[in-house]
Amino acid sequence: MKLNYLQIQIMHGLLLGDGHIYKKNNNNNPSFTQTFGQHSELFAKYVYENFKEFCTPKGFYSYKVQSGLNSPFYQRFIVRTRSLIVFQEFYDMYYITNNLGKNIKKLPLDIENLLTPIILANFVMSDGNYHKTKHIIRLCTNNFTKEEVQSLSTAILKKYNIQNSLEHVRKEQYIIRIRKTEVYKLQDIVKPHIIPSMLYRIGL
């Protein structure tokens, strides 16, 4: 089994966002998983439909959780693939083992060459948001180091001429901020590859 071109592009976009590759140990093949919020059901189904041949019959499921004891229940959706060798390339590209033996995300070194409109669109759908009052788009890159976020920021500027900046959100965590005057550029690039239910994430 191999991933086709579209599946490869989608996978890159998801891994830049909230998607994760998981590997139990060096003797096991990796699997992909992502959790989606209750407003992203159609996006979760879109991801599942693109990867269902790599999933078990239970590769898409949902459950309800509470944020607090007396809070209302809300829905979560999960897409999970089987453990397969086809995901090893992504594991090698996006993960590194730190000094504590924990696997953490890293940004691919050739991100500028990788960053196609399809990848960027799936990144936005996976972990982007539109600020309704400031009219900006933010790409949540909290999983990466400041240096990696800066590299991604530079790649977006060089490849698509989209002016952007880093925003410090909490201790040692940074996101990318697309300024109001540049939002239309990003919209034009990614809109053809964004499903209708997720257009709100680019302000449309």
Domain ranges (residues) in the chain? 5-105, 111-202
Instruction: Select 5-105's CATH number: 3.30.1330.60, 3.10.28.10, 3.30.450.40, 3.40.50.300.
Output: 3.10.28.10
Nearest to 189 by CA among 114, 115, 110: 115
Listing DSSP states for the chain in one string gives ----HHHHHHHHHHHHTT-EEE-SSTTS--EEEEEE-GGGHHHHHHHHHHHGGGS-TTSEEEEEEESSTTSPEEEEEEEE----GGGHHHHHHHEEE-TTS-EEE---TTHHHH--HHHHHHHHHHHEEEETTTTEEEE--TTS-HHHHHHHHHHHHHHH---EEEEEEETTEEEEEE-GGGHHHHHHHHGGGS-GGGGGGGT-
One fold for 5-105 and 111-202: yes
The CATH number of the structural domain formed by 111-202 is 3.10.28.10
The whole-number pLDDT of residue 68 equals 66
Say yes or no to pLDDT of 55 above 80.
yes
Q: What is the pLDDT of residues 180-191, one digit of tens each?
A: 999 999 999 999
Say yes or no to pLDDT of 198 above 80.
yes
**How many alpha carbons lie under 13 Å from residue 204 in its C-beta half-sphere?**
18
The whole-number pLDDT of residue 136 equals 95
The whole-number pLDDT of residue 35 equals 94
Say yes or no to pLDDT of 169 above 90.
no
Say yes or no to pLDDT of 200 above 70.
yes
The whole-number pLDDT of residue 28 equals 87
Whole-model pTM: value is: 0.92
Say yes or no to pLDDT of 78 above 90.
yes
The whole-number pLDDT of residue 54 equals 97
Q: What is the pLDDT of residues 1-38, one digit of tens each?
A: 899 999 999 999 999 999 999 988 777 899 999 999 88
Q: Which residue has the higher pLDDT, 107 or 74?
A: 107
